[in-house]
Amino acid sequence: MRWLAGLALGAAVAAPFVLSSDYALHLAVMACVYLILASSLNLVMGHGGLLSLAHPAFFGAGAYAAALLAIRGAPFLAGLAAALALAAAAGAAVGLPALRLSRHAFVMVTLSVTLLFQILALNWTTVTRGPMGIPGIPLPALLGVTIATKTQFYYLMLALALACIASVVVVTRSPAGRALMAVRESDVLAAALGINPLRYRLQAFVIAAAWAGAAGAGYAHYISIVDPSVFDFYWMESLLVMVILGGPGSVAGVAAAAVVFTAVPEWLRVSQDLRMVLYGAILLAAILFLPEGLSGWLAARRTARALRAEQARA
């Protein structure tokens, strides 16, 4: 597992030297955006067991925050920090009431939040310019270096993605992550043992929202325009495919799925509309046949083998 992670990291760092076309580099940048979004959503969905459809809302909120600050001349890091803070605050504001609801109600509320944010972006024209969006977002500068080429953007987003994945790993290996998974298994039992379910769910929800906001900031600078399509359901469906097929609760599985499902649809050259249909079919099949994703299926096989070995010894 460790050498596999090292190999993946090496491949990620070397990617710009191997990828020949601009288009391939573009996909690599998008893979990093998806890595941040899927890994952070995995904390909520996989470790927390909460199906949240609000992730695009926090992503878009971060994108708008960074865009609005950047066109007014704010430095990139200030915009990034603001995007992170705004998304975290939105996460707390949504999570605090929504996490008290039943599982089904939570799904509906988080879906409504994404729709609401899109309506807000479309109609609050004095700030967001509505469907016209905010064009002309300047190139970010970091430590005096202007991030201009796709390769530079790639390394910036890769750094963000690695920081995100590292933070998810730290959280899941900490007592807070253990509490979060215990609450996922049974909130009643967890509470009876002194674990406050709301506290740990909210923590995870806010951390994930903050990372979605950071991804939004990076994305906004990269494509240099933000419009209400950042809240499109297309994002949500892609993220669901990545988390569910990668295996909810598996950091490596979801990371791998994020890269694969950024690249594969592009190579297959399917149109966006057809992709939505295909993703829908894949999701249905995965939920029916692989409810714990590919990595969950592999882990179950390992456990079964270990149990058989134990029985054979006994």
- Positions in the binding site for other proteins (CB under 8 A): 170, 173-176, 178-179, 181-182, 185-186, 188-197, 303, 307
In the complex with other proteins, which residue's Cβ is closer, 200 or 235? 200
- Taking the complex as a whole, the smallest distance from the CB of residue 69 to other proteins amounts, in Å, to 31
DSSP-derived 3-state class of residue 251: helix
The Cα 206–Cα 214 span in angstroms is: 12
**Based on CB atoms, which residue is closest to other proteins, 132 or 166?**
166
C-alpha distances in Å from residue 21, one per residue of 15, 27, 76, 135, 211: 11, 10, 27, 26, 29
- By beta-carbon proximity to other proteins, the closer residue of 216 and 296 is 296
Tell the residue number behind the tokens 């509490």, with chain if given: 179
Nearest distance, CB of residue 180 and other proteins, angstroms: 10
DSSP state, residue 21: S
3-state secondary structure of 141: strand
* DSSP state letter for 139: P
Q: Structure tokens of 92? A: 């707390």
Query: To the nearest whole angstrom, how small is the minimum distance from the Cβ of residue 265 to other proteins?
Result: 31
The answer to whether residues 283 and 240 touch, using CB atoms and an 8 Å cutoff, is: yes
**Closest distance to other proteins from the beta carbon of 95 (Å):** 18
The answer to whether the beta carbons of residues 238 and 283 sit under 8 Å apart is no
| Residue (46 or 265) nearer to other proteins, CB | 46
Beta carbon nearer to other proteins, 101 or 304? 304
For other proteins, which is the closer residue by CB, 285 or 307?
307
Q: How far is the CB of 308 from other proteins (least distance, A)?
A: 12
- In this structure, are strands 141-142 and 145-146 parallel, antiparallel, or unpaired? antiparallel
- 15 near 154, Cβ under 8 Å? yes
Instruction: Compute the least distance from the CB of residue 311 to other proteins, in Å.
Output: 12
